[in-house]
């Protein structure tokens, strides 16, 4: 059987989707390699940017196909069906909602969240209001078509599953929940690299303050970082000895956030010592691990998440987590975090201050260590392979 996987998001080019796609693809290929009875051949569709990133071994029963179809584009809708039909697939897995509307053979689709449905705001785009309005209509048409025509829908949490059922009236037995895993950032082979990185003068990590909490991710409006800046404005007024480090690629949204930080006198370009907020920019996985290790806590003030991977990665690196109590986060993080109402600045302020309670933080870390054991990329890939098989055979799992 020939199984296609749309892996154009594979690797760092696809941000969070890239992590999901890469881990699923890598683990599926490994499991297929170890399963001598498997009759699956995987056809992996990649972009020019990540084609050489995926390494396969001789005998892996994997075919790589280079495509030049940008995400969410008209070209994607027209050309991807051509590539998919040409590969003569029994099934294809699209790891996001952007399923080509002109592809009519069997497919499964992964839905991570319904953020564009739940938070339709022009503040989340750099486009004009008209273009955003038209793109939002196109989004609804594409995702509705994908959900209705798919053999199975993979949801990354029960929260997302219920969101899909409520918004699009999909039968619940068509949706399978498959939790994501946690990427191991602290493998033994990286220890020497990390020690070297910590000593390098050029590393921004050597200039970090001794007392800070941090966030990693995008600065889209639903991430609620402006509220976090308001909270730190209060800390500044009180001369409270705590700083905020924000890690994420500096794009339009981070630039807008930086302007707010300047207005609140929390950030001064070139004056890290007197800045209450530090914009770290993009960080590598190894730099991220050091941030987890050095921080007093990781904070995640998001208003909406379909899963929420960064808090789990923080927990896996023994970092205390302060989290929003909205959407999927309580389901995913469980007892592993100290929760706050992300729309209540006083609540966020008070919970941040509680990180000084050593007994409380010790209890939270102990609970979280046990809780995260259920998140495994290997398990995610295995469940995904079963969904492929059941979808081809038209069985309900």
In the chain, where the domains are located: 2-181+377-392, 188-374
Residue 28 pLDDT level (bands cut at 50, 70, 90): very high
Nearest to 279 by CA among 238, 327, 241, 228: 228
Q: How far is CA 68 from the centre of its chain?
A: 24
Q: How far apart are CA 86 and CA 83, in angstroms?
A: 5
Cα-based torsion angle of the residue sequence 47, 304, 299, 336 in order, rounded to the nearest 10 degrees: -100
Total residue count of the chain as it appears in this document:
397
Fold of 188-374: Rossmann fold (3.40.50)
2-181+377-392 to CATH, choices 3.10.450.50, 3.90.230.10, 3.30.300.30, 3.40.50.2000: 3.40.50.2000
**Rounded distance between C-alpha atoms, residue 28 and residue 25, angstroms:** 5
Q: Judge contact between 336 and 321, C-beta under 8 A.
A: yes
Q: What is the pLDDT of residues 242-256, one digit of tens each?
A: 999 999 989 999 999
Q: What pLDDT is attached to residue 119? A: 72
Output the six-digit token pair for 132: 């955003």
Instruction: Give per-residue pLDDT as tens, 315-362.
Output: 988 899 999 999 999 999 998 899 999 999 999 999 999 999 989 888
Task: Output the six-digit token pair for 118.
Answer: 């739940």
Residues 6+ apart with CB under 8 A from 101: 77, 141, 142, 145
SS3 of residue 286 by DSSP: helix
Please tell me which residue, 296 or 202, carries the higher pLDDT value.
296
Distance CA 351, CA 339 (A): 8
Least confident of 151-155, 200-204, 363-367: 200-204
Q: Using a pLDDT cut of 70, give the percent of the chain over it.
A: 90
How far apart are the C-alpha atoms of 330 and 217, rounded to whole Å?
A: 19
φ, ψ of residue 5 in degrees (nearest 5)? -130, 120
pTM for the model: 0.88
pLDDT tens, residue by residue, 291-318:
998 999 999 999 999 999 999 999 988 8
Confidence check: pLDDT of 68 > 60: yes
Report the distance separating Cα 179 and Cα 121, nearest Å: 28
Residue 193, pLDDT > 50, answer no
- Residue range 373-397, pLDDT digits in tens: 889 999 999 999 999 999 998 744 4
Are 204 and 173 in contact, with CB atoms under 8 Å apart? Answer: no
Say how far apart CA 236 and CA 166 lie, in whole Å.
43
Mean pLDDT along residues 118-145: 74
| Local structure of 125: helix, strand or coil | coil
Summarised one tens digit per residue, pLDDT across range 226-279 is 999 999 999 999 999 999 999 998 999 999 999 999 999 999 988 888 899 999
The answer to whether 2-181+377-392 and 188-374 have equal CATH topology is yes
């Amino acid at each position: 059987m020939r199984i296609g996987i749309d892996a154009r998001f594979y690797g760092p080019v696809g941000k969070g989707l890239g992590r999901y796609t890469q881990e699923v693809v890598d683990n599926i290929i490994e499991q297929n390699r170890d399963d001598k009875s498997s009759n699956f051949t995987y056809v992996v569709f990649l972009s020019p940017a990540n084609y050489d990133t995926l390494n396969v071994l001789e005998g892996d029963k994997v075919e790589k196909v280079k495509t030049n179809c940008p995400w969410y584009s008209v070209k994607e809708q027209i050309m991807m069906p051509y590539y998919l039909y040409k590969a003569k697939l029994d099934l294809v897995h699209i790891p996001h909602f952007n399923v080509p509307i002109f592809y009519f053979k069997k497919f499964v689709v992964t839905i991570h969240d319904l953020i564009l449905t739940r938070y339709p705001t022009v503040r989340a785009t750099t486009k004009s209001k008209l273009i955003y309005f038209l793109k939002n209509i196109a989004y609804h048409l594409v995702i509705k078509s994908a959900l209705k025509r798919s053999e199975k829908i993979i949801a990354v949490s029960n929260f997302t599953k219920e969101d899909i059922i409520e918004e699009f009236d999909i039968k619940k037995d068509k949706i399978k929940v498959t939790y994501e895993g946690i990427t191991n950032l602290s493998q033994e082979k990286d220890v020497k690299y990390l020690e070297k990185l910590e000593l390098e003068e050029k590393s921004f990590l050597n200039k970090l303050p001794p007392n800070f909490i941090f966030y990693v991710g995008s600065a889209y409006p639903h991430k609620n970082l402006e509220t976090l800046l308001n909270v730190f404005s209060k800390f500044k007024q009180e001369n409270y000895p705590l700083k905020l480090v924000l890690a994420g690629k500096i794009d339009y949204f981070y630039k807008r956030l930086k302007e707010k930080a300047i207005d609140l006198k929390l950030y001064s370009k070139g004056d890290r010592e007197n800045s209450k907020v530090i914009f770290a920019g993009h960080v590598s996985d190894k730099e991220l691990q050091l941030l987890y290790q050095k921080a007093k806590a990781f904070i995640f003030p998001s208003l909406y998440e379909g899963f929420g991977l960064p808090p789990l990665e923080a927990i896996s690196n023994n970092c205390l987590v302060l989290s929003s109590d909205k959407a999927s986060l309580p389901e995913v993080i469980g007892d592993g975090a100290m929760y706050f109402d992300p729309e209540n600045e006083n609540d966020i302020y008070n919970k941040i201050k509680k990180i000084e309670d050593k007994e409380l933080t010790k209890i939270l870390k102990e609970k979280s260590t046990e809780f995260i054991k259920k998140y495994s990329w290997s398990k995610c890939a295995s469940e995904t392979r079963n969904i492929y098989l059941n979808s081809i055979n038209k069985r309900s799992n």
